[in-house]
Amino acid sequence: MDAQSVKLDVTEKADHRVASTYLQDKFGKLDILINNAGIALDGLGEVTVSTTSDDIIHRTFDTNFFAPIALTQTLLPLLKKSDAGRIVNMSSVLGSQTLHADPSSQIYNFKALSYDASKAALNSFTIHLAYELKDTKIKVNSAHPGWVKTDMGTEAAPMEIPEGAKTGVALALLGEDGPTGGFFNDAGPVAW
């Protein structure tokens, strides 16, 4: 297997252009884009809605929402050259407005305004982009990987990284008859 890399800070538009040029020159197209960058600066329950600073909100949205949109827009011409382009936005169940509003849901008591809102906004981007691309072979979906042992998920998380990657990989490898414009975890659809 031949692995190659290119430096990409998702918040740096210059890096987006460099990556696009590299992919164009090397491959002429892009088959799969997984928008997987994310930060959680407000912590679960550590900062309340009334104490969340503008800085935390802006920095979180810059990474979790604005950067994936900008990167996707930059790389979309290359995805359109693919025979079956796939875009996977790594979201979170914490971006589910339905579950956050339901007192009986497992996430009801876990509130982090900037992180949750940024993932809900990313889910909205998924719906809108899937609609725009509905007459193409490109499929766009959001994925909730689960609570995974990463720097953000911490060692307290029950899932190892390979297990957490399963949903995103499955959506990246969807067949022609697969869904688009949905939100999924390893068990199936997640409520918006």
Residues with catalytic roles: 115
Helix (H) or strand (E) holding 130: helix 113-132
Considering only CA atoms, which of 64, 100, 87, 89 is closest in space to residue 143? 89
Q: What does the block give as tokens for 38? A: 């994310």
**What is the distance in angstroms between the CA of the first residue and the CA of the last residue of the chain?**
37
Q: For residue 37, what is the DSSP state?
A: -
Phi, psi angles (nearest 5°) of residue 69: -65, -50
- The span from the CA of 136 to the CA of 83, in Å, is 10
| CB-CB contact of 35 with 88 (8 Å) | yes
Kindly report the length of the chain: 192
Strand ranges, E, within 144-191: 183-185, 188-189
User: For the sheet containing 139-143, what is the strand order?
Assistant: 32-35, 86-90, 139-143, 183-185, 188-189
